[in-house]
Amino acid sequence: MTARLPSLNGLRAFEAAARHLSFTQAASELNVTQTAISHQIKRLEEELGIRLFVRQNRALSLTPEAKEYLPGIRAAFNDLRLATDRLLRQDDDHVLTISTLASLAAKWLLPRLSAFQEAHPGIDVRITTSTSLVDFKSGGVDAAIRYGRGQWPGLRADWLMADQMFPVCSPALLAGNKPLKKPEDLADHVLLHTSPSNDDDWRLWLTAAGLTTDLSKQPGLSFDMVFMTIQAAIDGIGVAMGRTSYVRDDIAKGRLVVPFEITLPVDAGFYLVSPDGRADSPKLSAFRNWLVATAQDKPEALTDAAAPARLGRF
């Protein structure tokens, strides 16, 4: 004879209260009153004929029987959530939502994305931009392209690319009346900054070039996004500190040039980050394979043909 299952509401109340060890927090999570939680737990205990909680003053603890019961109940609710999530996501199997930084999207990802769409016409890619960490549990975002050192607990991080940083400017500025042949000549030019995200770039590069960091403090222009800083350099407003990912295409197309040989490696890089549980879905696997291959493709953008001086590692 199959045992009758206890009340689902009672089980939900038990799982939440056991997780928080608080009827109050369980009530808040389930959007009911504390009295309702108490009644549901009492009814569940009567159905099971087993005491589940020990109530002592303001403390709440599990009985030995409840501690043994809880893992199975928690696993069951987990399975229900996953099954429901899979059911609701079936219609969205063709939709892939990627979060990334606005500047990386504008200067690197979007110009290349048509190649993925041509290779995978059945996948509808949606790009969302944000500087905030993605909450994958809330749904809506399948993966994120993020900058860092690849250490995000509970997430799969696939290496994409690293950057070098170096000054860039428009060809017109380089050919102008003010010389820009050696790093010291920067003192006569407007420096373009991205603040606050890349505040240290100029200071670090000037130090690597053997110059005083006071140059980075001279009057200039600041923007809150990298692609705006790069656009100002393309427009001839001043000299920007470029990073490979953001300026490679503009250099290749002659919109920017590199006036000096000194480049500085950046100590972090870009990763494709995705939740472990969904990292191997077909649509995300297809995007990951394409993205990694695209990021590792090194076009001849930073050469003498695109810049007045060959870049060298400092």
| Other beta carbons less than 10 A from residue 256's beta carbon | 26
pTM, full prediction: 0.63
pLDDT over 80 at 302, yes or no: no
If you average pLDDT over residues 263-292, what whole number do you get?
90
pLDDT over 80 at 142, yes or no: yes
Q: Which residue has the higher pLDDT, 91 or 119?
A: 119
Expressed in angstroms, the distance from the first to the final Cα of the chain is: 77
Q: What is the pLDDT of residue 72?
A: 86
Query: Which domains are seen in the chain, by residue range?
Result: 8-90 (1.10.10.10), 92-160+269-296 (3.40.190.10), 163-267+299-313 (3.40.190.10)
Q: What is the percent of the chain with per-residue pLDDT over 70, rounded to a whole number?
A: 89
For tokens 């987990």, the residue is 78
Angle 3-8-10 from CA coordinates, rounded to 5°: 100
The helix/strand/coil state of 54 is: strand
pLDDT over 80 at 205, yes or no: yes
Q: Which residue has the higher pLDDT, 10 or 301?
A: 10
Question: Is residue 10 within 8 Å of residue 52, measured between CB atoms?
Answer: no
If you average pLDDT over residues 264-273, what whole number do you get?
90
Distance of CA 287 to the CA centre of its chain: 15
Question: Is residue 226 within 8 Å of residue 194, measured between CB atoms?
Answer: yes
pLDDT over 80 at 66, yes or no: yes
If you average pLDDT over residues 115-123, what whole number do you get?
92
Of 95, 74, 14, which is closest to residue 47 (Cα–Cα)?
14
Question: Is residue 158 within 8 Å of residue 187, measured between CB atoms?
Answer: no
| Other beta carbons less than 10 A from residue 208's beta carbon | 16
pLDDT over 70 at 203, yes or no: yes
**Model confidence band, residue 105 (pLDDT cutoffs 50, 70, 90):** very high
pLDDT over 50 at 312, yes or no: no
DSSP secondary structure letter of residue 196: T
Q: What is the pLDDT of residue 86?
A: 59
For tokens 């810049």, the residue is 307
Question: Is residue 185 within 8 Å of residue 215, measured between CB atoms?
Answer: no
Name the least confident of 57-61, 187-191, 207-211. Answer: 57-61
pLDDT over 90 at 228, yes or no: yes
Render the burial of 135-145: b for 16+ CB within 10 Å, e for the rest.
ebeeeebbbbb
**Model confidence band, residue 298 (pLDDT cutoffs 50, 70, 90):** low
Q: What is the pLDDT of residue 309?
A: 34
Q: What is the Cα–Cα distance from 5 to 175, expressed in whole angstroms?
A: 81
Give the tens place of pLDDT for each residue, 81-103: 766 765 665 546 688 999 998 88
Q: What is the pLDDT of residue 252?
A: 94
